[in-house]
Amino acid sequence: MSQFEEMQQAIIDGKAPVVKELTEQALRDGVKPAEFFPKAIVPAMNEVGRRMRDCEFFIPEVLIAARAARAATDILRPLLVGDEASRSAGTVVCCTVKGDLHDIGKNIVAMMLESAGFRIVDLGVDASPEKIVQAVQEHKANLVAMSALLTTTMVNMKAGIAALASAGLRDHVKIMVGGAPVTENWARSIGADGYGKDAPTAVDLARSLVAN
């Protein structure tokens, strides 16, 4: 098993200390930081997404796998220089919208996006439209991912989109939404660019939105 294959397996198995050790060893062996993403982290998290979609993995497995992936990315991010550092898949502002404190779905999406090579600006829960606008401006984000668990708070996704439009940012960012009560129709009706029905779908959607 190659170093990268071993690392992929350790991420899938959620073994953060092993991933950390393998990352450090590979760096000592001269592997370039940027190589880890396409050769180990992204394929491993793609496999985690597949297993989640196929009901082989559930939330505990996904969370420990994402934590293991982060054990590598925490070491690698500061080492990326020049082109490598700016060559992320995109910058995503993630949040649970105003009035809503439910964050496990948003957290999983954020972790999987990060493992897929996106730079994440996580605004946490109860994020106001103003906060979203500020984060997009400050971090020059090209994607906003909003989550809501309640029918009462999903309306605040619309407010977030309106605020981005008022700030003149709507044409500069793609917007994706998700959460239990959210539907494709709802996403379309509020002017979002896409709806992610689960975390793996959200990662695929983010990739396609950024590519377009």
Partner 1 sequence: MKGRERILATLDGQPADALPFMPITMMFAADHVGVKYLEYATDYRVQVDAQLRVAEDYDFDYVSVISDPACEAADCGASVKFFPDQPPALDEENALLADKGKLSTLKAPDPSSGGRMHNRLKALSLFKRRAGGDKSIEGWVEGPCAEAADLRGINALMTDFYDDPGFVSGLFEFVLELELAFGKAQIAAGAELIGIGDAAASLVGPKFYEELVWPYETRLVDGLRASGARTRLHICGNTRSILAGMGRLGCDIVDLDSLAPVSQGRREMGPRQVLLGNIDPVRALRNGTPESVYDAVAECHREACNRFIVGAGCEVPRDTPAANLRAMARYAREHGTAELQPKADSSRGLP
Interacting span for partner 1 (CB under 8 A) from 21-29, 31-39, 112-120, 149-157: 149-157
Tokens 């050769």: give the residue: 39
In the structure, how many helices (H) and strands (E) does the chain have?
Answer: 11, 5
Say whether residue 51 binds partner 1 (CB under 8 A).
Answer: no
String of contacts with partner 1 for each residue 101-140, x by CB under 8 A: xxxx--x----------------xx---------------
Of the candidates 54, 158, 56, 52, the one whose C-alpha atom is nearest the C-alpha of residue 108 is: 52
Residue 55 beta carbon to partner 1: minimum distance, rounded to whole angstroms: 6
Please count the residues of this chain forming the interface with partner 1, following the rule CB under 8 A: 27
Interacting span for partner 1 (CB under 8 A) from 1-9, 28-36, 63-71, 80-88: 63-71
Cβ atoms 7, 36 nearer than 8 A: yes
Say whether residue 61 binds partner 1 (CB under 8 A).
Answer: yes
Residue 38 beta carbon to partner 1: minimum distance, rounded to whole angstroms: 27
Amino acid at 98: K
Buried b (16+ CB within 10 A) or exposed e, 110-130: bbbbbbbbbbbbbbebbbbbe
Say whether residue 14 binds partner 1 (CB under 8 A).
Answer: yes
Beta-carbon contacts of 173 under 8 Å, excluding residues fewer than 6 positions away, are 136, 141, 142, 143, 144, 164
Say whether residue 59 binds partner 1 (CB under 8 A).
Answer: yes
Contact footprint for partner 1 (CB under 8 A): 14, 55, 57-61, 63-64, 67, 99-104, 107, 124-125, 150-153, 180-181, 183, 185
